[in-house]
Chains A and B, each alone.
Chain A
Amino acid sequence: MMLWHKAWRETRTRFLVSAVALVAFSAAIVLAQVPIREHAAALPGFRSGPSYSLHIYNFVYSGLLKTAFIWMIFFLGLGGLPREQAQGTAGFTLALPVSRLRLVSVRMAVGLAELTALALAPALIIPALSLAIHQYYPLSEALHFSVLWIICGTTIYAMTFLFSAMLGGEYTALVVSIVVFFVLDLIVSLAPLQPYRLKLLHIISEFGTMRWDAQHLVLSSGPLPWARLAIFSVASVAMLWTAVRVTQRQNF
């Protein structure tokens, strides 16, 4: 139980700042939908129309909030024993009567729980606040995107977690994670790999797979891309497992 508390104490500021920002952005996008949509309609090339679901998709699941969520995950994965060693506190943590596997797995579990809570926040706020302004956004649709955010977010989290298990500098793991993310995004965007549609930024927002209903009023997604999500999940597990092995073998 103490390990859980330790992991929570280490990440709670980042988590709470992220949660407040996510809730505030979600609320602003819903409550200020009229001026935002009026302005968006005047922008050249911006897909806008009378549909409330398009507004939510543009600003939450394909725009501002998605970007915020992705970058906050980079920060959630940071920390770990190399950072503690740099601060001179790793000795205290390693003196605890628990294995390194348990140390890492508890930190991982707390991080993933925080990630899940952040991914679920818009699904709770947006349908509820939409009713307050006499609009409707389907809970099933919001949960659909939450699942995408959890699985794709876990991949980003696992990558940052892995680099923070390997690199001790305060910002080095963060910078390297961001760089690797951009490199991978570029590689899967190249022509030979494009047909496989492995671009995380597209999958997390269902880019190019959203469909209108018959009345052209509600924009909704199709079934979840399970095959691609499975690939991401396998990659996440592999990276997290590597992080455990790296930590077990470190010489401190």
Chain B
Amino acid sequence: MMLCYKAWRESRTRFLVSALTLAGFCCAFVLYHHDARTGIGDQSASYAGYIWHITYKSYLRDLFVLLALLLGAGGLLRERSYRTSAFTLALPQTRWRLVSVRAAVGMAELGMLSLLPALVIVSLSPLIHESYPLMQALKFSVLWTICGTFIFMIGFLSSVIFDGEYTASLVGFFALLLYSAVVDLPAVERYVGDIHDIMSGAGMPYFRQDAFVLAGPLPWSTLANILLVSLVMAAFAGVITRRQDF
């Protein structure tokens, strides 16, 4: 329990700033939809199309991806720079447990961030005499949680490899950018899914572009694969941490 509290204390500022930001953006998107629709979205699109475009496809999703990456930062290497790692390592816990608790807290925070757009948009839409289906929003939350976990793990893994202040986050960002570029290559895209498209549904068989809605069941096998890769990355981070000489 104490380890969970420690991980929460270390990441809570980032999490709370992220949560406030995502909630604030969702409020603004709904309450100022007239201005935002003219300026950013397609003015002729339906309300569902506008919400999908600005929230689930581009604007908020881009921000969510960056925040997920930054949530993965921290860990023992950073503590070593502050000369506090000895206190953490003196706790009667294995390094494996230290890493897994930090990963679990990060994933829980990510799950909460993913749910925010669903809660805010669905509950505020009636105020402007519009509606957005709760099930649609929750389906997107599931996609964001699982794909966000993969992005979080990129930041998490780089935080156990790279030592310097901000270096891990910067390398994690470049790794994500490299992944985004490589996954679009013809030889690769046949075998590896593009996490950004999976999150937004753009061009995916489970998304109806004409109505901007997720139709049919979610791609559970793809999501299971992404989750599996994320867990392998977490395990890899644990193995690296166990072998570190401090």
Contact = CB atoms under 8 A, between A and B. Distances in A.
A179 B171 CA distance: 20
A169 B73 CA distance: 13
A182 B25 contact: yes
Contacts of A18: 170
Interface in A141-176: 169-172, 174-176
Nearest to A13: B164
A78 interface: yes
Given A175-B18, A191-B35, A191-B38, A17 B167 contact: yes
A249 interface: no
B78 interface: yes
Contacts of B167: 13-14, 17
Interface of B is mostly: helix
A79 B164 CA distance: 12
Interface string B30-41: 001011101110
Given A171-B73, A174-B166, A186 B82 contact: no
Interface stretch (A68-76, A129-137, A211-219): A68-76
B177 A78 contact: no
Given A172-B17, A175-B18, A68 B70 contact: no
B25 A78 contact: no
B70 A14 contact: no
Interface residues of A, number: 40
B63 A75 contact: no
A26 to B, nearest CB: 12
B170 A17 contact: yes
B184 A39 contact: yes
Interface in B181-205: 181, 184-186
Contact of A21 (B13, B169, B174): B174
A178 B170 contact: no
Interface string A77-95: 0110001000100000000
Contacts of A189: 36, 39-40
Interface in B17-71: 17-18, 21, 25, 28, 32, 34-36, 38-40, 59, 62-63, 66-67, 70
B173 interface: yes
A64 B70 CA distance: 20
A96 interface: no
Nearest to B62: A182
A2 interface: no
B242 interface: no
B185 A75 contact: no
A50 B229 CA distance: 39
Interface in B66-91: 66-67, 70, 73, 78, 81-82
B169 A75 contact: yes
A1 interface: no
A179 B170 contact: no
B162 to A, nearest CB: 9
Nearest to B67: A175
A42 B186 CA distance: 10
Given A172-B17, A174-B70, A176-B17, A186 B164 contact: no
A140 interface: no
Given A72-B170, A170-B78, A175 B70 contact: yes
Contacts of A170: 73, 78, 165
A87 B82 contact: yes
Contacts of A79: 165
Contacts of A222: none
**Which of B28, B32, B66, B166 is packed against the most chain A CB atoms within 10 Å?**
B166
A182 B60 CA distance: 9
A176 B67 CA distance: 10
A179 B164 CA distance: 23
B97 interface: no
Given A87-B82, A186-B59, A191-B38, 15 more contacts: A13-B167, A14-B166, A21-B174, A25-B177, A36-B185, A39-B184, A75-B169, A87-B81, A171-B14, A175-B14, A179-B17, A179-B21, A182-B63, A190-B40, A194-B38
8 contacts: A14-B170, A28-B181, A170-B78, A172-B13, A175-B70, A182-B21, A186-B36, A190-B40
